[in-house]
Amino acid sequence: MKIKWLHKSSKRKCILFFNGWSCDEKPFQHLASKEYDVISCYDYKDILLPNEVNCVFEDYEEVYLTSWSLGVYVANLLLKAHQSLFTDAIAINGTLNPIDNLKGIPSAVFQGTIDGLNLKSLEKFWMRMCGGKSAFNHFKSNVPNREFDDQLLELKELQKLIQNHFVDWNIYNKALIGKQDLIFSANNQKLAWKESIDIVEREYPHYCFDKWNLWDEIIEELSCGKSEY
pLDDT tens per residue across span 10-19: 999 999 999 9
For the sheet with 198-202, list strands across it.
2-7, 36-42, 13-18, 62-68, 88-92, 174-178, 198-202
Length of the chain, in residues? 229
Angle at 169 between CA 36 and CA 4, to 5 degrees: 30
| Domain residue ranges in the chain | 2-224
- pLDDT tens per residue, range 29-64: 999 999 999 999 999 999 999 999 999 999 999 999
Q: Which residues of 5-16 are buried (b: 16+ CB within 10 A; e: fewer)?
A: ebbeeebebbbb
Q: Which CATH number fits domain 2-224: 4.10.640.10, 3.40.50.1820, 3.30.465.10, 3.40.50.1000?
A: 3.40.50.1820
pLDDT value for 223: 78
Beta bridge partners of 65: 16, 89
224 — pLDDT class (breaks 50, 70, 90): low
Q: How far is CA 227 from the centre of its chain?
A: 20
Q: In this predicted structure, what is the pLDDT of residue 16?
A: 98
Distance separating alpha carbons of residues 103 and 99, to the nearest angstrom = 8
Name the pTM for this structure: 0.96
Let me know: does 74 contact 18? Beta carbons within 8 Å: yes
Between the two ends of the chain, the Cα-to-Cα distance in Å is 36
Separation CA 151–CA 134 (nearest Å): 24
pLDDT higher for 79 or 225? Answer: 79
Collapsed DSSP state (helix, strand, coil) of residue 167: coil
User: Taking a C-beta distance cutoff of 8 angstroms, is the pair 38, 14 a contact?
Assistant: yes
Per-residue pLDDT at 228 exceeds 70: no
